[in-house]
Amino acid sequence: MSKRFLPLFVLAILLSAQLCFAQSISKDVVPAANTARCFAVGNVDLSSANEIAIGESESFMWYDGNFPQYRRALYVYRPGTGIVWYDTMYAGEGGVQAVCIGDVNNDGVNEIAVLNGSATDGGQAHLSIWAYSGGDIWTNVWDTTYSSQRFGERDLAIGDCDNDGQNELVVGFDWYGRCFRVYEHTGSNNFTESFNSGYISDVRSVQVADCDNDGNNEILVGTANWGTWDVRVYKWNGSAYALQWDSPTIGQMHAVCGDVDNDGLNEIVAASHGGDWHPDSVGIRVYRYNAGTYNLLWQSPKILACDVQIGNALNVSPSKNQILFSAVWWSDVASSFDTCSAGWGVYAWNGATFELKYFHQTEPNHWESWVGIADADNDGISEIISAPGQIVLYQASGWTGVSSGSITPTRDAALFLNQNYPNPTQSFTTIAYSIPNNGFVKLNIYNALGQVVKSAVNEAKKAGNYKFTWNGINNDGQRVASGTYLYSLEVDGKATTKKMMILK
C-alpha cells in the first residue's frame, strides 16, 4: 500500500531493537539493500527456513509532477547470512511496488511474485514470477508488461480465490489501471488472465481470505481514489467475481481479514488514510459479516492509519491475534505533514473492546509504509516487521493475555558490506555498507598483492548506512589496471571483505 509518496532514505534490517514502556530504544543496524519499499517473508529456497524478499525503490518523493529515476531491485535476504541474491530487474523508471511469496504455480514450492510500476505517463509496468533454481539463484520464469501505466501496479496476493483447490495470483492496479486482475497458472511457466474487474478505483491492497466465514475464500480489496475510498469484497459465483460488499466511502484504503477477537470467526480490519477528502474518517475499523452484510463492530480514535496486519504480534501464550498497524497521529498531521509522530502500534481485544497496548514512534519525519508479522529470523517466535525506508525487526516478550510486556533484541548485529554495483565495472562502482554502532571506520581497496590502492574511508562515523562511489582512480591519481580487487570494511577491529572486478 502507499500514502502519497514517501521520502525514504535508507534500507536496513534492524536485527536488534530494545524497547520498554519508558519509550527508550537502542538500535543496531544491519543493512540488506538501499531503500526498502516492500517485503515478504517465506521459504523460497526449498529449505525449512524463511527468507525475506525485499523490493527496493530508490528516491521516493512527494508527488509534484516531477519524478526521479527509480532503481528497481529485488533482494533475497537470509537471516544470519545477509543478502544471498539480488536482481536489478528493469532499467529506467519505476520501482518495486510489492512482493509476495507463495506457491503460485501449484507445484508445492513457493515462488516470488514481484510488481514493478512506471513513474511517468505512458510508461510500462511489469508483473514477474521468480523461481528458485538452485544454489542462491532465482530465475525469472514469467513476465508480463502493461503499457500506459503510471505506477500501474500496487499490491498482489496468492491464494485459492475461486475455491477449486488451485492458487491464483491477484494483482491490484492504481492510476490508469484502477482495477484488479486474476491470473491462473495454465501449465509450464504460463499464466493467463482469467478475470479483470474493470475500472473500480485505485486498488491499494488485495487479499484472498474467507471474509464471510462460509468456508470459501473471497477477494478483499482496499481502494483509494479521488474522493472514493472504500473496502470491497468480491465472491466467485462460478463464472466471475461478483461484488458482495462495498463499504461506506470513508477514506479506507488498506484492508486485511482474520480473527482479531479470537472467537473463531474472521473479521475485516480496514485502515483509513482519509486524505484530503475524508479528514474526519481516519482511523481503524473492524467489520463482521452477518445476515448478508458486513457490520461495523469497532472504530479507533483518529489516527491516519496506513497499513494493518493481523497476527500474534505480542507473542502472547497461548497464541492470540492482535491488530498491528502503521499510522500517523492525527493531532500531528493536522498541523504539519512534514513534522509528525509516525510509527506502528498494536491493538488487542480485551473481551469487550480493542485497547491500544503499544505504540512505537519511528524516526521523526518518516511516514510508515509497510508492517508485517512473521518469524523472520527462524527462531520460532514472531517478529513485528516495519519498513519506513528500513526493514526493521522487533520482537515482543513478556506479554500475558493483554497485560504489559516488553520488546527485546532479536539477535546480535554485525557489520554489513554489500557487493559493489555494478560489478564488474569499467568506470564507476558503488560500495554500500553499514555499521551497527558508532566507531572508527576504514574502507580500503586492495590489489591482488594485498597493497592498498585506494583509501576510501578513514574516519569516525555514527551507526548507520553509507555509500562510497569509486571511479577507479588510485591514491596516486592514476586509473587502476583491470583485474580482481578486494575491498575491506573495518570498524574497531572487526572486518569484512569482498571482491570486485575492474574491466577496461
Between 368 and 126, the higher pLDDT residue: 126
Between 326 and 256, the higher pLDDT residue: 256
With a cut of 60, say whether residue 49 has pLDDT above it: yes
C-alpha span between 467 and 10 (Å, rounded)? 10
C-alpha span between 350 and 267 (Å, rounded)? 16
Mean pLDDT of 221-243: 89
- Which of these, 312, 311, 378, lies nearest to 45 by C-alpha position? 378
DSSP 421: B
Residue 17 — very low, low, confident or very high, per pLDDT cuts 50/70/90? very low
Residues 497, 486: contact at Cβ < 8 Å? yes
Question: 124: which residues sit within 8 A by CB, 6+ positions away?
Answer: 90, 94, 118, 145, 146, 147, 149, 152
- Identify the pLDDT of residue 333: 44
Between 110 and 59, the higher pLDDT residue: 110
Question: 279: which residues sit within 8 A by CB, 6+ positions away?
Answer: none
C-alpha span between 29 and 437 (Å, rounded)? 8
Which of 236-240, 273-277, 311-315, 459-463 has the largest mean confidence? 236-240
- Identify the pLDDT of residue 277: 53
Q: How far is CA 498 from CA 255, 334, 440, 488, in A?
A: 43, 48, 20, 7
CB count, 10 Å around CB of 464? Answer: 16
- Identify the pLDDT of residue 334: 44
With a cut of 70, say whether residue 400 has pLDDT above it: no
Mean pLDDT of 446-472: 89
With a cut of 50, say whether residue 21 has pLDDT above it: no
- Identify the pLDDT of residue 95: 75
**Backbone angles phi and psi of 412, in degrees to 5:** -70, 145
- Identify the pLDDT of residue 387: 76
This model's pTM is above 0.95: no
Residue 116 — very low, low, confident or very high, per pLDDT cuts 50/70/90? confident
With a cut of 80, say whether residue 312 has pLDDT above it: yes
- Identify the pLDDT of residue 243: 96
Mean pLDDT of 161-186: 92
Mean pLDDT of 262-278: 82
Span 50-83, pLDDT tens digits? 999 988 765 433 333 333 344 567 888 888 787 7
Residues 119, 103: contact at Cβ < 8 Å? no
Mean pLDDT of 297-316: 89
Lowest mean pLDDT among 201-205, 229-233, 383-387: 383-387
- Identify the pLDDT of residue 96: 83
With a cut of 80, say whether residue 35 has pLDDT above it: no
C-alpha span between 57 and 370 (Å, rounded)? 13
Question: 116: which residues sit within 8 A by CB, 6+ positions away?
Answer: 72, 89, 90, 94, 95, 96, 97, 125, 126, 127, 128, 153
With a cut of 80, say whether residue 273 has pLDDT above it: no
DSSP 422-489: SSSBSS-EEEEEEESSSEEEEEEEE-TTS-EEEEEEEEEE-SEEEEEEE-SB-TTS-BPPSEEEEEEE
Residues 172, 197: contact at Cβ < 8 Å? no
Region of 98 on the Ramachandran plot (φ > 0 left; ψ -120 to 50 alpha; else beta): beta
Percent of the chain with pLDDT over 90: 40
DSSP 6-51: -------EEEEEEE-TT--EEEEEE-SSS-EEEEEEE--SSSSS-E
C-alpha span between 351 and 123 (Å, rounded)? 50
- Identify the pLDDT of residue 23: 25
- Identify the pLDDT of residue 36: 74
DSSP 223-292: EE-SS---EEEEEE-SSSEEEEEE--SSSEEEEEEE-SSSSSS-EEEEEE--TTT-TTS-EEEEEEEETT
Residue 278 — very low, low, confident or very high, per pLDDT cuts 50/70/90? low
Domains of the chain with bracketed CATH: 13-408 (2.130.10.10), 420-502 (2.60.40.4070)
C-alpha span between 30 and 466 (Å, rounded)? 11
Mode of pairing for the β-strands spanning 180-185 and 168-173: antiparallel
Mean pLDDT of 421-434: 85
C-alpha span between 457 and 129 (Å, rounded)? 39
Mean pLDDT of 146-152: 57
With a cut of 70, say whether residue 448 has pLDDT above it: yes
What is the distance, to the nearest Å, from the Cα of residue 177 to the centroid of all Cα atoms in its chain? 22
